[in-house]
Structure 1
Amino acid sequence: MEFRDIEIFLALAEELHFGRTAERLHVTPSRVSHVIKKAERRIGGPLFERTSRTVSLTPLGERLRDGLQPAHVQIQQAVDRAVAEARGITGTLTIGYTTPWCADLALQAAEVFRDRYADCTVRIQEIQFHDPYGPLRRGELDLQIAEVPAPVPGVTDGPVLFREPRALMVPADHPLAARDTVSLEDLAEAPMIKPRGEVPKILMDLHLPAHTPMGSPVPAGPTFSFWAEVPALVAAGLGVSVVACRAARFHSRPGIAFVPFQDGPTLDYGVLWPATGQTPSALAYVDLLVDLAYKPGDD
């Protein structure tokens, strides 16, 4: 078996789905099927059991996977070390993030990155909404995983990693909490909690607007410096906040509810980097982020 064929076999053994395997390896499902059939002909027995609904390894396939996997890992690590040395992937890579789901992705990518590039250290740190681009513009970060686009000079937008439907985080006893959905016009019915600091107006208009699309004013609520303050302020009945629907998995607590929006844009999260350019280490890390973000089941 050629190296690429082994890679396809091992990926299918992990995913147990031809479509997901093809997407992960950037090939067609027919290519995956062809490689597996060729391997089965060469070996002389079935490696997978296939039905219209499921794919599973046969005992022969399991033994082949267990035999190939350690060697494949060693080969890949040797190649990665050579690539790292050739490209200069060394030193320290500092990554910022703004949400827990961005942090999860950053840490997942960092774990893989450290295995591949042992001479490069990865540091992860949280970025606060009241100074969303300062650390990146001051050169304190190499990359940032955050809301995009970034409407400021000195920062360049990279690939989008998540497109999140939005929700309104409201006090559990607020009338809006009983709704199945809310609209942007409903923002006029409760004070909006907003960050302190010099947040670009275009960013505020996108995420925490002062007026509804029809022009109704959105009442001003209390302000915050750190995101951890927001759920507490909402639970106390002091205001509401626009969040990603995924926030319900990370910030649920007594006294608050999350109601999806029926209209409005998604909240998009992606990679930001300094306009001056990217290092080889940063580019290699971004490639990992893209692969992991679009891996099926990540949600």
Structure 2
Amino acid sequence: IMEVVMKRGAIEKGPALLYRDGDLAVKSLRDYLTGGVERILVDDRDVWQRLITMAEEEKDISKDRILFYDERESLFKSFKVDEQIEALFDRTVPLPTGGSLVIDYTEALTVIDVNSGSFRGKGIPHDQLAFLINKDAAREIARQIRLRGIGGIIMIDFIDMEKKEEKEKLLRILRQEVRDDHVKTVVCGMTSLGLVEMTRKRTTKRLWQYYYDTCPLCKGTGRILSARAAADRILEDLENRRRKGPFQRDLEIRCPADVKKVLESAPFRDVLHQTVLRDIRITEEPHFSRETYTILSL
């Protein structure tokens, strides 16, 4: 690539495009048609013909593995690709042994917890059982971080194992599994707390960032204000206003339905009237969020 850029740079007059990376089809052929890939299916005839032409020009790419998919059912539906993509957004990933992975994201790093789940081996010592689950987990973790586009620092909490040789073997398995990753991935080792630390170069956004926006209500926390807490805020606001002087007019409070229900319940209703000492009308606003309310003078 550098050679191409240098040659074009010596010829072209600026400003000029010196290099353009290949599109998705070209990248798939270049990066993924390796020894472990049996075939590439293409459902667009023009793209298929272009890839065949490229394969004919390359010595190490067999055009026999590039097949045109000509069926009534769509390619993604036929191979249930959409279902597999949806599964990549699940927090919990089941393992063949009955255990599971729990994947959580933070700004600084990604945390993966390995759980034994329902797997209970009869007559198998705990340490051997832990190693079996951890071995399956290591293979699935390498797969998940590739599919989900996870980058940066990754911390893995495997099931505790006492034997040093089993810990070292697990690290070797994990290193072997990430070796085929096209993105630079490094298994740093195991910390004093028994956590495995690894890093993966950030090349793209995490997969979920392409499909989902941050929730405007919870701002990505997964939590929203409870109706009771929202009602408490309204009472606190009214109390602060009353401290500046008594209310001269009746009031109307506009708020969501569940907050309205709390304000109209016995203890809140009594405190509300003792604070305002005027008539109060509470109106439901279906489009308000829990944190939104309006207090009007009538």
TM-score range, shorter chain: under 0.3
Q: Which has the higher contact order (CA 8 A, sep 6+)?
A: 1
Normalised TM-score (structure 2): 0.23
Normalised TM-score (structure 1): 0.22
**Structure (1 or 2) with the greater strand fraction:** 1
CA radius of gyration, larger in: 2
